[in-house]
Structure 1
């Protein structure tokens, strides 16, 4: 019995470590990946997306974000021990082996692939392959891209063209404009995130937008928020959305202004708070889209 209890305790410990490696204890990444996917699903479905597709995409978001965290920590395992915020991550601390992480990554990707099998088409297959390539390659862009956050924006927003492809069987131009809006949003929120680690990143030679923008970092964040909301607004208005959608954008803009107040002094704790608060910006945009379609349907009915 003692041996069984010890074995059970060991497995529970491994599971907790794997959860930390996948960042399931920190769901903000899932939400930042999920909101643009939901924007795409609702816009492509004109407010009435296929609920089977919605469930597949929500679960797929969890699997792919988790896989992205694992491959990110694999790529950064020699850097993370030198950064105060990341030195206790399971791979950086040596509590999970690279082999374990690779097997976990493969399992998560396999789960995501199984999920999208009911949506099989050559277009979906090609887009899924591109999404996987983006997720795998993003961690390495911090070695050579001046603003790797732009690449992250493509990776985190690739659920948008996938959503259109799943709903419509094609990817219209509006999907790519919406993806561009997400790129600017990702640059904004991930620059806030990078402002937290700027001192450590400078020491170890990692490239981030916070380092590239320098003293113009706060201005760059606000410009990116403005461009993101501008592109999202353009897509929404071309889709025929009206005042309720505008209220959602107005709320998102108000949140962006609040973030300016948080980050203007570049205090790491307040910058991290602003990063986490982006969940509400994404939610505000989605609420504007979903409620505008809902009210329009109610009026038409």
Structure 2
């Protein structure tokens, strides 16, 4: 009785284990477990979206619904133009997976020579190149479907981000010591996509913010690349981590300054107020200074921790300034409208 009763449970556990084992390599191929990478794509989008919502006077509940939809992948309603910008976030998240798959297809021989990456599905042979290519095209098909109904400007930005920008990144590691600069253009497309989806334009303030996020990408991805410096030299992989050499902290300080300069200029051009400059600029500057002092670029463990903190802590800190300023401005507008309505009623 006991043995017979336990049998279905054992079979169910065995089936679950088998399915899980079969799916694990595909999950690992997209890096979905390492959520810091997803957040590093999400934050520039969130910053750009919040800046856009402030300027376009998007109602606060609608704005939070937009972020909520983007995070959980809920069904999109094409009846509200504002909801189209969710496509940007979702396309970016699929773009991460597609970019990782494409990167691993081209870099599988390099990955076998690097201790940290030799266990990746393609490098280790757990997934075939043919299977990875089919998986890649599935990602691309979903992304193209998601942006099919957007305006012309947003469509062009989406296609550029998907193909030449993301597609050329693995090649850059072979021909230049500045692949991080190319990655910075590709991974921060969400800044301008948010503006394009909602307003159909890309103002100067958005370009200033884009410049700041570009410098931020070089900052955190250089730190990330420091994990593999020794192996990259042997494998022939180029990076800013190798280029900057013993001057790496000095150069990182320069890019931190460029990042903050971009945020300051974007804030001035977009008319942001005290909460933004206090939290995003002031708080972000202090955080970068502390991180620069603390990180040990010769320690893979320290570099990974710093990369992780950029994806979660710094991105959230800077967004809090955008958000506080947006709510500050929206509430001010609401109070003015309320006072105006009261005056009109009395008249």
* TM band (smaller chain): over 0.9
Q: Distance in 1 between matches of 2:298 and 2:25?
A: 32
> Partner of 2:251: helix, strand, or coil?
helix
Q: 1:284 aligns with which of 308, 317, 333?
A: 317
CA separation in 2, counterparts of 1:129 and 1:118? 13
State the partner residue of 2:21: 13
Question: What is residue 298 of structure 1 aligned with on the other side?
Answer: 331
Q: After superposition, give the CA deviation of every residue in 1:257-298 in whole Å (9 maximum; x if it has no partner).
A: 121122256322112211111122122111101111102222
Structure 1 position 140 matched with structure 2 position 171? yes
* Distance in 2 between residues matched to 1:6 and 1:105, nearest whole Å: 29
Partner of 1:104: 135
Name which of 84, 88, 106 aligns with 1:53.
84
CA distance in structure 2 between the aligned counterparts of 1:101 and 1:123, rounded to whole angstroms: 31
Is residue 2:45 matched to residue 1:37? yes
Q: 1:265 to 1:204 in 2, by over 3 A?
A: closer
Alignment partner, residue 214 of structure 2: 183
- Aligned counterpart, 2:33: 25
| Separation of aligned partners in 1, 2:22 and 2:103 | 19
Conserved 8 A contact 1:218-1:264 = no
**What is the SS of the residue equivalent to 1:78?**
helix
Look up the SS of the partner of 2:90 in the other structure. helix
CA RMSD of aligned residues (A): 2.1
How far did 1:190 drift? 0.5
Report Cα offsets for 1:34-89 as digits up to 9, x if no partner: 10011111212226376323532332222111111111111110000111111111
Cα 1:160–1:69 change in 2 (3 A) is same
Distance 1:125 1:298, change over 3 A: closer
Which 4+ residue blocks in structure 1 deviate beyond 6 angstroms? 1-8
Range 146-155 or range 44-53, more displaced: 44-53
TM-score (norm: length of structure 2): 0.81
Alignment match of 2:292 (pick from 260, 275, 295): 260
Separation of aligned partners in 2, 1:266 and 1:220: 16
Larger Rg belongs to: 2
Report the Cα offset of residue 96 of structure 1: 0.7
Residue 147 of structure 1 deviates from its aligned partner by 1.2
- What is the DSSP-based 3-state SS (H/G/I as helix, E as strand, rest coil) of the residue aligned with 1:82? coil
Task: Return the alpha-carbon distance in structure 2 between the equivalents of residues 8 and 100 of structure 1.
Answer: 22
TM-score w.r.t. structure 1 length? Answer: 0.93
CA distance in 2, matches of 1:149, 1:162: 20
Aligned residues: 300
Per-residue CA deviations over 1:70-117 (Å, capped at 9, x if unaligned) read: 111111100001111111111111101111111111111111222222
